[in-house]
Amino acid sequence: SQQGEEDPQALSIQEGENATMNCSYKTSINNLQWYRQNSGRGLVHLILIRSNEREKHSGRLRVTLDTSKKSSSLLITASRAADTASYFCATAQVDTGGFKTIFGAGTRLFVKA
Amino acid sequence: SQTIHQWPATLVQPVGSPLSLECTVEGTSNPNLYWYRQAAGRGLQLLFYSVGIGQISSEVPQNLSASRPQDRQFILSSKKLLLSDSGFYLCAWSVIYPGTGNTEAFFGQGTRLTVV
């Protein structure tokens, strides 16, 4: 199975609430990234957290990384309807000749106005 | 700055027709390049990745092939499309930062392929 398994698969919240999404992975990583994808559009890079970091903030986003548990979480505070999208975590994994990036199936977030 | 171009944005092709999707990257050299497919409502599936010219790794058996004729060009092809090839295809590139070994991936806007 692929690295980066997110849960929940789908999340529906009210505007103003916080949304938390989790990601687990299986092997050692150099870093973990979170992406957003609006329906039918390309992926947008949100935030990267390195393996030696435990927490990182960017605006309303907060990402944590626990390498001992091989897990990460993405918290979106004070959610807005515009945050409705699919969110993916991705890990960079060493492979023969270089790195490859592995994505999970994503969490679909729906923020109700 | 680095940019990635992927075209076309949408494509409708009949079953049995050939396919060629092109992706080019600007502003970087020797990137790792990727093709992903996303079926409707599903996650991303890594199809191919390349660490250099002419070097292609296939992740899943399928009706598609990839080529990298130039350092910053990655092409996804098929000789005969199947209905099951319909999906959203994303090209991406990643860079490895010297010293730290950290990497970041960047994506194109995607091509929505409908095989009819």
Express each pLDDT in A53-68 by its tens digit: 999 999 999 999 999 9
Q: Which residues in chain B are closer than 8 Å to A43, comparing Cβ atoms?
A: 44, 90, 92, 107
* Residue of higher predicted confidence among B99 and A51: A51
| CATH top-level class of A5-112 | mainly beta
Mean pLDDT, rounded, for A10-19: 94
Contact (CB<8Å) A48/B107: no
**Residue ranges per structural domain of chain B:** 3-115
B96 inside 8 A of chain A by CB: yes
**Residue ranges per structural domain of chain A:** 5-112
Distance (Å, rounded) from C-alpha A2 to C-alpha B79?
Answer: 28
Which of B49, B90, B106 shows the shortest C-beta gap to A100? B49
Q: Which residues contact A86 (CB under 8 A, 6 or more apart)?
A: A36, A37, A38, A39, A106, A107, A108, A109
pLDDT digits (tens, 9 = 90+) for A77-109: 999 999 999 898 888 766 665 666 777 778 889
Per-residue pLDDT at B23 exceeds 90: yes
* Average pLDDT along chain A: 85
A85 inside 8 A of chain B by CB: no
* Average pLDDT along chain B: 85
A29: nearest CA partner in chain B: B102
Q: How far is A7 from chain B (nearest CA, A)?
A: 12
A98: nearest CA partner in chain B: B51
Q: Which residues in chain B are closer than 8 Å to A33, comparing Cβ atoms?
A: 104-105
CB-based burial of residue A102 (10 Å sphere; 0-12 exposed, 13-18 middle, 19+ buried)? buried
- Position B29 scores a pLDDT of 80
Mean pLDDT, rounded, for B16-35: 90
Confidence of residue A28 (pLDDT cuts 50, 70, 90): confident
Beta-carbon contacts below 8 Å between A and B:
79
**Could you tell me the CA-to-CA distances from B20 to A27, B25, B75, B88 in Å, in that order?**
34, 17, 7, 14
- Position A3 scores a pLDDT of 46
- Position A2 scores a pLDDT of 35
Which of A33, A43, A98 shows the shortest C-beta gap to B90? A43
Per-residue pLDDT at B39 exceeds 60: yes
- Position B63 scores a pLDDT of 87
* Residue of higher predicted confidence among B93 and A98: B93
Q: Does domain B3-115 have CATH number 2.60.40.10?
A: yes
Q: If you ran DSSP here, which 8-state letter would residue A30 be given?
A: S
**Could you tell me the CA-to-CA distances from B44 to B6, B18, B88 in Å, in that order?**
17, 23, 9
* Residue of higher predicted confidence among B7 and B62: B7
Contact (CB<8Å) B107/A45: yes
Mean pLDDT, rounded, for B49-58: 88
- Position A102 scores a pLDDT of 75
Which of A40, A97, A102 shows the shortest C-beta gap to B51? A97
Per-residue pLDDT at A5 exceeds 80: no
B80 inside 8 A of chain A by CB: no
